[in-house]
Structure 1
Amino acid sequence: MQVAGAAFLPHNRPMLEIPYILSDISTGFSKTYGVSYFDNETICTRGDACIIKMFNLQGSLMESIPIPSGNSPQDIAFKKNGDLLYIDRRDRSVNIVRNAQIQTLIRPPGPRQPHNMCSTSTDELLVMMDSKNGEETELVRYSPESTEIESLTKDDRGRPLFSSGMYTRLLTENRNLDICVADHAAGAVVVVSAAGELRFRYTGRPGDFGEPFQPFDVTTDSQSKILTTDHKNNCIHILDQDGYFLRYIDNCACDLHDPRGLCVDCADNLLVAERDFKKVKRIKYYDEILN
């Protein structure tokens, strides 16, 4: 998941040898799946209920937004101006919350079904869709006016970029404009350039853990590092922008349990949604910059 409203931070920040928990927020959901962040205060969460909850960094509930259809939101994101977006998968729609009113922004024609999304640095919208009755997965780009611009399904050799079927494929845009997709069913983080060309697939490090790598969510930080949740192994993988593994944040350092959604705040602190522990943990993994 992508962060909106990020502040400028210096390059080449050193990472902490041992990351640590700054705070945690109790979401109140039975299961917590996703988290998104906007500006210095607002944390948005989704779970197994037909409601979106907004918290401040101190953990106080600021607002609850009920979903009119009665469905739980499939994904959440912020536009650059702070408008909240959510996907209602059963309703096949992308919706916007604006001035306390909910409007349908996108409802694709035919059998296409929006599944996951992110907003870009140019305020375009990237949406992962199931099409052809789940036999094909599309990455669709929409203009700020919600007009479809392009659809990506295959690489330059004609092979599918993403796994098929109605599975989670959360995504984000990196600072170098690459599109990073956590393809859960494929067991890979798939990274595509802004031009739609496959750059690389990261499939984990076999042998490091007992369970296979199945990324659930992905985010990027001010250093263009890629972070992805490995929920079966209770850890987070950190990669550089070219897909080279750098390190883990594991449950030994931060007591992670079934990490699912994640994003970074404006200070490059990591926000991690734990599914069954009903929490969002705020984790510090960069050292301070001293003048």
Structure 2
Amino acid sequence: MKNHQSRAKRSKDFMENAFSLLSSPLQFTKITVPGASSINHISIDSSDNLWTHNSSKELLKVDRNGTVLQSLPIRSLYSGFYDTTEKGGLLFVDMTEQKVKKFGTDGNIDLLLTTEWEPYCIHFSRINGDIILVQFTRISEGRFLSKVTRHDSTGWTQVIEEDKKGRRLYENIPQYITENRNGDIWTSSSWGQVVVVDSSGHHRFNYAGQAFQSHFSPRGICTDILGQALVCNSWQINPSVHLLDQDGQFLRLLMTSEDGLRSPTGVCIDNKQNIYVGQQVSSTITVYKYLDLT
């Protein structure tokens, strides 16, 4: 165990020393998604192909040129309700049926699990292959209860909904969910803030933006090789991408309106640590580089 922990620490230290933050992100390409008017969510597979959606209720797998490689008709479009697996499949939630399904590379759709409440957004863990979900239920007109659940391959389920004092962690329905290299689960809601718990479900911190920005409406969220989080502030008065360290400390604004942002809503990172940003008012995904090997 000690040898394993020592190797993990050396690997972590190497990554932290190997990458440095560029003074400003470099935009190097744009990808136009056929038939899209907004890019609310993006997920990338191991071959660097992107899953996103168009305006005709279809999920689309596109390459770097925007060529459609696969498509999947769906009932409705909402925030982060799909994610890629390591082997190239696509997990997605069917809110109406309260089910999680997998769209395989062979075009088949398999049922993975049925949820207790309505599922909203999903993340496939790159650490252990678990499925991590946001679920919600309506308790009255305009009022909801939300929780995060983790599901492993044996059928075990972890439920995260309250802190140690019995207070509910999620005041609104989280719209996006991700996990960093430490196993911390990050959620974001445009109606509230970013909420972070550790792998055991213990509350770590909330993030509600910076005082120098008049509005903070967090949407798309992802994490990088350093455990840092990138959070889209979609508010059109001050659109931006916030960079936070793994403890929720604000590091800097990676991108703002000066970089062409108007309402960023979708974000993901590939294995080379390039950022893909989609916006609510555009059919284009913009790709940036923000880390450099030292």
Q: So what's the TM-score if we normalise by structure 2?
A: 0.86
**Partner in structure 2 of residue 72 of structure 1:** 77
User: CA shift at 1:55, angstroms?
Assistant: 1.2
Partner of 2:230: 227
Cα distance in 1 between the residues matched to 2:232 and 2:78: 20
1:17 to 23, 38, 41: 23
Corresponding position: 1:158 with 2:162:
no
Say which SS state the counterpart of residue 32 (structure 1) adopts: coil
Matched letter for residue 157 of structure 2: I
Q: Report the Cα distance in structure 2 between the residues aligned to 1:135 and 1:10, rounded to whole angstroms.
A: 41
* Correspondent of 1:139 among 134, 148, 160: 148
Root-mean-square deviation over aligned CA pairs? 1.9
Asked if the contact 1:113/1:131 (under 8 Å) is kept, the reply is yes
Deviation at 1:50, TM superposition (A): 1.8
Equivalences for residues 67-216 of structure 1 within 5 A: 67=74, 70-72=75-77, 74=79, 75-98=81-104, 99-109=106-116, 112-120=117-125, 121-133=127-139, 135-145=144-154, 147-164=155-172, 167-186=173-192, 188-206=193-211, 208-210=212-214, 212-216=215-219
SS in 1 for 2:40: strand
Whole-angstrom CA distance in 2 between matches of 1:157 and 1:217: 29
State how far apart, in whole Å, the 1-side matches of 2:257 and 2:281 are. Answer: 18
Report the AA paired with residue 227 of structure 1.
Answer: L
Q: How much has 1:236 moved relative to structure 2? A: 0.3
Letter in 2 for 1:143: D
Q: Would the aligned equivalents of 1:52 and 1:73 in 2 still touch at CA under 8 Å?
A: no
Number of corresponding residues: 272
Runs (5+) with no aligned partner, structure 2: 1-11
2:134–2:174 CA contact under 8 A, matched in 1: no
Q: Distance in 1 between matches of 2:260 and 2:291?
A: 18
Relative distance call for 1:91 and 1:73 in structure 2 (3 A) is farther
Query: Which amino acid in 2 is paired with 1:222?
Result: I
Q: CA deviation at 1:59?
A: 2.8
Provide, for residues 57-109 of structure 1, a one-character-per-residue CA deviation record: whole Å limited to 9, x for no partner.
23322222223xx3336511012222111122233222110220112322224
Task: Please tell me the residue identity of whatever aligns with 1:277.
Answer: S
